[in-house]
Structures are given as structure tokens and as C-alpha cells.
Amino acid sequence: MNRTILFTAVLALTGFGIIGCEQEQKTAKVSQAPVKKYAQATVLEGIVSNDKGVIKTGIVEVTDENDRLITQTTVNDGHYSVEVPANTVLPILLAFSSGPGTEKLVTAVIHDTITKYDINPSTTAVAKAAKAMGGYTHANMTRAASGIVHTPDANKTTTGWRGDPTKQYGGWH
């Protein structure tokens, strides 16, 4: 009986050691993603809209994750175009406001090769959900978009999405 207890204790301790090793391996594989930034000044553009349609006027502010203003521009007939300075580190946020006290619409910019970003309630919901998941990463943005944006059945496959499921995480196009 003592051998059974001893064997059980050794087995349990070995199991804890294996679990500990697995935990160390999992944390060792986690690494920082490379920092993305605009190598040169880049113009971002798009359309601002809400559930009622295109919003004709307002301001689009470009901020970093800590809400520090990088630059801003005005919206002209629903369209905006803003130059982001070289060496701006991503992610950045494009936040639209039509005046003091109004709700902001937001989109998150995480890719340095995409220059067209619409700003609307869907992009706002995706950005908020991604931030709640831990930040503006490609994985979080995709998960947030798949949970928020309606996906037509014709665009689904058994392995997930066909192509880019969103127009920069803001809805099907």
C-alpha cells in the first residue's frame, strides 16, 4: 500500500512538472509583433457615414492609441483625406466628430499598406470590440469584425471567410 501511495505521489508531481513545462513553452512562444509604421508620409482617405447616410461635414482626427493628436482634417461632402506623417507608428485611430458633445465614429488603422478607410458605426463597433479583446491587432480586428458585421451566406466557406471579410473591418462591399 505504501508503494501505491508513493507511486501516486511521484506520478502527481511528474504531472505538475509537465504542466509547468507546457506553461513555460506557451509563454516562451509569445513574442512581440514587429512594429509597423509609415516609412513615408501617407495619405489616408475615405467616406464618413452613419445609419442615415453620408455625413457632410465634421472633423477627422488622427490619434495614437493613447489619444494623442497626430493630425486632423475636415470632412467635405462626406469625404476626408488626411496626410499621416512619416514614421507614424501603427496602430492609429481615425476619429470623426461633427461637433462638441456628439458621438465619435472611429476606425482603427493597423496596416501600413492600406490607404482607404471608411468611418461608420460598424467600424466603430469593430474598433471598440478589438480594444476590449486586448488591442488593435489583426487577429483582434478580424475576430471583432466576424462577430459584429453581417456576413452573407454566399461569402462564407467551411474554413471561414472568402477573401477579406470586411472593407477594412467595416462591412462587406
| Contact in structure between 90 and 42 (CB atoms under 8 Å) | no
pLDDT in tens, 72-95: 999 999 999 999 999 999 999 999
CATH number 3.30.390.50 given to 42-161? no
pLDDT in tens, 102-156: 889 999 999 999 999 999 999 999 999 999 999 999 999 999 998 876 656 665 5
CB-based contacts of 28, cutoff 8 Å, min separation 6:
none
Q: Which residue has the cell 458633445?
A: 101
pLDDT in tens, 146-156: 887 665 666 55
Terminal Cα-to-Cα distance of the chain (whole angstroms): 70
